[in-house]
Amino acid sequence: MVLSSPGDPNKSKERIYFTARLYASQGDVLNAIKNLDDALKNGFSDLEAIQKERDFDRIRQDERFIEFMKSAGALLEKLESR
């Protein structure tokens, strides 16, 4: 896996997802959600991985995260239909 440089506008979906995991593990719900949203828009589609990943345990009960996860499936369907 190749990581892009910090200023690279073409960040990989894996890098963005990993960043979301880092924010989630620190309890930063808003930045975790923002990065998950970016990862989904850049091609990450493994919602099951998000549900199983322990890094998200710290924010899993937060209403904002719950609402994001509910809407993530719809977002993926919309992106895939393009």
Instruction: Give the tens place of pLDDT for each residue, 3-53.
Output: 445 555 557 999 999 999 999 999 999 999 999 999 999 999 999 999 999
Mean pLDDT of 60-79: 90
What is the mean predicted confidence (pLDDT) over 60-68? 96
pLDDT for the residue 3: 46
- pTM value is 0.80
**Residue 75: domain span:** 13-80
Give yes or no for residue 73 having a pLDDT over 80. yes
Look at residue 1 in the predicted model and tell me its pLDDT. 43
Classify residue 45: in a domain, yes or no. Answer: yes
Q: Give a yes or no: residue 8 inside a domain.
A: no
Tell me, yes or no, whether 52 lies in a domain: yes
* Tally of structural domains, the chain: 1
Which among 76, 12, 11 has a CA at the least distance from the CA of 47?
76
* 6, part of any domain: no
| Residue 44: inside a domain | yes
C-beta of residue 49 within 8 angstroms of C-beta of residue 11: no
| CB-count burial class (<10 Å; 0-12, 13-18, 19+) for 32 | buried
Q: Are 12 and 3 a contacting pair, CB within 8 Å?
A: yes
- Token pair for residue 63? 């209403």
Say if 34 falls within a structural domain.
yes
